[in-house]
């Protein structure tokens, strides 16, 4: 079981992601904006972060930079609805260049999200 941080300003999205990831056996913590999410990460490190790119207080691009500075190996998945047509694609590509291992346009297929989380997490080691 991994500990996953979901950062999104949309409560419904946070809850949908939380439920899908919890059903897959993960512990999920949540934040409603990038500033709070990065602060939460520093207080309670996680194994993987899923974050929206467009949020109040601190957007996803700035959050990716801060998370990358704190932990260069932290798996990050960026998601975005982009607001305007075509806007999300450019920002998702920027997120990849800044260190997000995967980037998805909303709406995100939950099975794909859960599979991607499994692929990005380091394999568990048997003692």
The model's pLDDT over 29-79, given as tens digits with 9 standing for 90+, comes to 999 999 999 999 999 999 999 999 988 898 889 999 999 999 999 999 999
Write out pLDDT tens, residues 80-125.
886 554 555 677 888 888 889 999 988 999 999 999 999 999 776 4
Q: Domains in the chain, please, with CATH?
A: 3-119 (3.40.50.2300)
CB 52 within 8 A of CB 7: yes
CB 20 within 8 A of CB 110: yes
Burial of 110 (0-12, 13-18, 19+ CB in 10 A): middle
pTM value surpassing 0.85 = yes
CB 79 within 8 A of CB 97: no
Question: For the CA atoms of 41, 44, 102, 2, what is the dihedral angle to 10 degrees?
Answer: -170
């Amino acid at each position: 079981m991994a500990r996953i941080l979901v950062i999104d300003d949309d409560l419904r999205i946070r809850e949908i992601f939380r439920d899908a990831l919890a059903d897959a056996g993960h512990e999920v913590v949540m934040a409603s904006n990038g500033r709070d999410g990065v602060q939460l990460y520093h207080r309670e490190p996680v194994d993987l972060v899923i974050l929206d790119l467009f949020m109040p207080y601190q957007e996803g691009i700035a959050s990716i930079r801060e998370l990358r500075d704190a932990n260069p190996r932290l798996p990050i998945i960026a998601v975005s609805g982009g607001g305007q047509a075509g806007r999300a694609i450019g920002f998702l590509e920027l997120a990849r260049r800044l260190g997000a291992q995967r980037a998805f346009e909303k709406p995100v297929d939950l099975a794909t999200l859960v599979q991607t989380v499994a692929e990005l997490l380091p394999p568990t080691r048997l003692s």
